[in-house]
Structure 1
């Protein structure tokens, strides 16, 4: 949960998603932010942070840089928060699947195992 309370948006959630590199984290944010939040009852903010949880450390190294995508959600009700986060997770799942299939950084960091499905 986030520390800052907003009386208009009392329900909040912080999600941290680690990526192998800062570049992949930035790509994920760009892909997800294309779809704006549909409900005015929900607000979300994206940022990248270091794997240790801090902010920018001035380190330009792609592996140890800001490789964690942080998403802060605020909503008027728990239901609206749940619906919005579920949609985010669906989008994130698709983005990760595409990264696993097409991006060299992901392929180098984890071996691909054969999977069943229409695109596998």
Structure 2
């Protein structure tokens, strides 16, 4: 990605989700609001968690479980302010998903059980 001299500060944030459907929902929820400042540019995409995905699998939407947000800003301060607001919004989206979506609860329970009960070999 070429750096625009008028937007020298940049950051890419990857947020993993348990399913492609939840990543897509987060993308739709977060992309509704436009950036308030003309000093900041933001773009969203969903992508596979593993960058080594084969070319034939790259079009498989079920693998796209990571929400990628790319920021460009004129100053570090503008970048920080915008990213802080974005992270607050991501937190809210995930909180709502946890409260309303069965997939998130199931994935969280599975992860909690894996952490709480380590495998014991006989």
> What TM bracket, shorter-length normalisation?
0.7 to 0.9
CA distance in 2, matches of 1:95, 1:17: 12
CA distance in 2, matches of 1:101, 1:43: 31
CA distance in 2, matches of 1:96, 1:17: 10
Q: How does 1:78-93 map to 2 (within 5 A)?
A: 78-93=76-91
Alignment-derived partner of residue 35 in structure 2: 37
Q: Report deviation, 1:53.
A: 2.9
- Structure 2, unpaired ranges of 5+: 113-122
CA distance in 2, matches of 1:89, 1:54: 27
Relative to the length of structure 2, the TM-score reads: 0.82
> CA distance change for structure 1 residues 6 and 52 in 2, over 3 Å: closer, same or farther?
same
Alignment RMSD: 1.7
Relative to the length of structure 1, the TM-score reads: 0.83
Partner SS state of residue 67, structure 1 = strand
CA distance in 1, matches of 2:96, 2:51: 26
- Identify which of 21, 24, 28 aligns with 1:23: 21
Q: How many residues align?
A: 107
- Structure 1, unpaired ranges of 5+: 114-120
The structure with the larger Rg is: 2
Alignment-derived partner of residue 64 in structure 2: 66
> CA distance change for structure 1 residues 29 and 54 in 2, over 3 Å: closer, same or farther?
farther
Q: Report deviation, 1:6.
A: 1.0
